[in-house]
Chains A and B, each alone.
Chain A
Amino acid sequence: DAKTTQPTSMDCAEGRAANLPCNHSTISGNEYVYWYRQIHSQGPQYIIHGLKNNETNEMASLIITEDRKSSTLILPHATLRDTAVYYCIVRAGGTSYGKLTFGQGTILTVHP
């Protein structure tokens, strides 16, 4: 599985867009990019995933560069409840079982 690199921490003002980058320069053609977050004392929460096209759901947008070596998770209007650790995970589809491996992630702090 491709290694990912994320900034250790980021700040964002409430109501503004939070843009969280992830570098995955060794990604293979069959590997997806997944984003999860973990709010303090809660279980991890699935946010979004994509292969090469940009994706959007009710929580966030995922922008993947054309060469697929990096991606950005966008929370369009961050709220205080979005303060969490955000994890970017790269995994190939169709493997034997869906074991998740979280790296260090990015601590996002949303300020009033």
Chain B
Amino acid sequence: NAGVTQTPKFQVLKTGQSMTLQCAQDMNHNSMYWYRQDPGMGLRLIYYSASEGTTDKGEVPNGYNVSRLNKREFSLRLESAAPSQTSVYFCASSASSASYEQYFGPGTRLTVT
């Protein structure tokens, strides 16, 4: 059981470039989440998917799009990266959208110059 996996681990982008962060879970969880973590800011929810086929905005969705490709995979896309999006991005999953027992991936460290 790999749990939650994320790719890539590190990425450097120039302002205006686009990229997709990939996330997959093998726990047969229904719900998946994307968070960002900035120094001193704690976790902030970007988007979540309560179940396959649904996605909803979290606290800080501007500048991002998501796709719930299937039950296992949930991707996060930055269409035009900005320096303010420099952060560590974590994907998480849980059995249901009402569960706070969430399992996190190792994170993607993104720098936008």
Query: Residues of A at under 8 Å CB distance from B?
Result: 32, 34, 41-46, 49, 89, 91, 93-103
Contacts and interface: CB of A to CB of B under 8 A. Distances in A.
B45 interface: yes
Contacts of B99: 98
Nearest to B104: A43
Interface of A is mostly: loop
Interface size, B (range): 20 to 34
Contacts of B103: 46
B43 A44 contact: yes
B100 A45 contact: no
Nearest to A91: B100
Contact of A102 (B43, B59, B92): B43
B31 interface: yes
A44 B100 contact: no
Contacts of B92: 43-44, 100
A49 B104 contact: no
A96 B106 contact: no
A61 B105 CA distance: 24
Max chain B Cβ within 10 angstroms of own Cβ: one of A34, A93, A97: A97
Contact of B100 (A41, A43, A89, A103): A89
A99 B101 CA distance: 10
Contacts of B105: 43
Interface in B75-113: 90, 92, 94, 96-107
Contacts of A34: 100-101
Contacts of B45: 99-100
Given A96-B98, A97-B48, A100-B92, 19 more contacts: A34-B100, A42-B106, A43-B90, A44-B92, A45-B104, A93-B98, A95-B98, A97-B50, A97-B98, A98-B31, A98-B33, A98-B96, A98-B97, A98-B98, A98-B99, A98-B102, A99-B48, A101-B42, A102-B42
20 contacts: A32-B100, A41-B107, A42-B106, A42-B107, A43-B107, A44-B92, A46-B103, A49-B101, A95-B98, A97-B50, A98-B31, A98-B33, A98-B94, A98-B99, A98-B100, A99-B59, A100-B35, A100-B43, A100-B45, A103-B42
